[in-house]
Amino acid sequence: MKHFAPSIAIDRLPDPVFAELAQRIGSVKAAGHDVITLGQGTPDQTTPVHILDALRQAIDDASNLQYPPFRGHDFLKQAVANFYESEFGVSIDPATEVAILLGSKAGIVALPQTIVNPGEGVIVPDPGYPDYLSGAALAGAYPITLPLLAENSFLPDYNLLDSLDVERARMLFLNYPSNPTGATATAEAFEQTVAFADAHDICVVHDLAYGGISFDGPTRSFLQTEGAKNVGIELFSLSKRFNMSGFRIAFAIGNPSVIASIETYQEHLYVSAFTPIQHAATVALSSDQTCVRELSALYETRRDALFGALNEIGWVGPVPGGSFFVWLPVPSGFTSQSFTDHLLDEAHVAVTPGHFFGTYGEGYVRISLIADVDRLVEAVKRIGTLQLFQTAVAE
């Protein structure tokens, strides 16, 4: 059988570390153990009924089963513009400032290929979502690490970047509320980002995947910042906000030149999202947002219960202001990977090691709030029996 070697672009892609972790968890489960899985990033709640009803009604209309327009339906783009006006007070032109994406992951991976040339730089947050690196790799771009440090509340400090790297940079990814740290952005952080990007002709891509899941006040949109549209775009996903992860629907919103490039790129790959899904997305954005507030409150209840249990065993870490992730330091004597393995093997609790999210993620693990309160508390009790945090308790 002939072997066809993968392309250089495929070889540049990061290793699929999450698949390996899933296999490890599967092995422990197969051995008969009750594993509390807190490593995944998939919502555990169901899609609200009014959104599902809209999908069903749209499917029943035969005219919706044909190819959609290449750039998506105008009614959905208008709904996005209306939503941004009502939710964030941001004025959006639906004709030139909205692109429909098949999930924000598709946009993240595609965007560097639309405006970044091979050899140019893409600044990625570290720790950060791994697919920022995937997009840079497929574009043949040079990845530039932006350290996110605990002492700066995991917010960007552009003084940490090398001046030569900054000159080379063409794109900057940010993500608040953050995966994996749970940090939320301040107005000042976004203002500094706009000034930095404007001074160096860098396109900002703010990934608002966890919009609406915020515990310390409303979610902040990057586009609320003066001058933000001049220097970049925002990616807005329905996956987490409305528990619509399987729908694969999201949007790029902002700078018209970037929107034009992503739409041109997508025309060569897809014929937009399935029309019934676009109808369901329109209803999600246009309807009362009580379901989103209730979902955020649910995650906040889980967060508070988790930290109540963590305090009892002496495991101290930053309390997240948003997203459904908790970012915790590993105890002395462990690496991120060895601690993850220890929890899985000895406590049958699955978490995600921090180094999966970059070099600066070493020394941490990520816990997801994608479990009922009882399971979260039970997971911490199991970890407590390992007696890894006795010193912290004594203090």
Q: Which CATH class is domain 49-286?
A: alpha beta
Q: How far apart are CA 275 and CA 87, in angstroms?
A: 24
Tokens of 85: 């006006």
The DSSP code sequence of 259-282 is HHHHHHHHHTT---S-HHHHHHHH
User: Which residues are CB-neighbours of 89 under 8 A, at least 6 positions away?
Assistant: 224
Residue 155: phi, psi to the nearest 5?
-100, 155
Residues in a beta bridge with 120 = none
Tens-place pLDDT, residues 141-156? 999 999 999 999 999 9
Return d(Cα 292, Cα 118) in angstroms, integer: 40
Residue 183 host element (H or E): none
Q: What is the dihedral of CA 100, 104, 110, 116, to 10 degrees?
A: 100
Distance CA 206, CA 108 (A): 10
Q: At what angle do helices 275-286 and 74-88 cross, to 10 degrees?
A: 20
DSSP 322: B
Q: Is the dihedral of CA 29, 34, 38, 42 positive or negative?
A: positive
Q: Rounded distance, CA 131 to CA 290, Å? A: 31
165-181 confidence digits (pLDDT tens): 999 999 999 999 999 99
- Nearest Cα to Cα of residue 40 among 296, 286, 245: 245
Question: What whole-number distance in Å separates Cα of residue 351 and Cα of residue 315?
Answer: 15
Query: Is the bond leading into 127 cis (omega within 30 degrees of zero)?
Result: yes
112/196 Cα distance (integer angstroms)? 19
Q: Which three-class secondary structure state does DSSP give residue 311?
A: helix
Which tokens hold the place of 345?
């093997």
DSSP 48-78: PHHHHHHHHHHHTSGGGGSPPPTT--HHHHH
Residue 225's φ and ψ, nearest 5 degrees, are: -80, 135
CA-closest candidate to residue 241, choices 218, 214, 210, 220: 210
pLDDT at 395: 40
Residue 338: enclosing H or E segment and its boundaries? helix 336-342
> Among the CATH numbers 3.30.9.10, 3.90.1150.10, 2.60.40.10, 3.40.50.720, which is that of 8-46+290-394?
3.90.1150.10
pLDDT at 391 (0 to 100):
46
pLDDT of res. 392: 41
Task: Give dist(CA 380, CA 367) in Å, integer.
Answer: 11
pLDDT in tens, the chain (395 residues): 999 999 998 999 988 878 888 888 999 999 999 999 998 888 999 999 999 999 999 999 999 999 999 999 999 999 999 999 999 999 999 999 999 999 999 999 999 999 999 999 999 999 999 999 999 999 999 999 999 999 999 999 999 999 999 999 999 999 999 999 999 999 999 999 999 999 999 999 999 999 999 998 899 999 999 999 999 999 999 999 999 999 999 999 999 999 999 999 999 999 999 999 999 999 999 999 999 999 999 999 999 999 999 999 999 999 999 999 999 999 999 999 999 999 999 999 999 999 999 999 999 999 999 999 999 999 999 999 999 996 443 44
Residue ranges covered by each domain of the chain: 8-46+290-394, 49-286
Phi and psi (nearest 5°) for 299?
Answer: -65, -35
Phi, psi of 207 (to 5 degrees): -90, 100
Gap between the Cα atoms of 384 and 222, Å rounded: 39
If phi over 0 gives left and psi between -120 and 50 gives alpha, with beta otherwise, what is residue 213? beta
Rg (CA), the chain: 21
Q: Is 156 left (phi over 0), alpha (psi -120 to 50) or beta?
A: beta
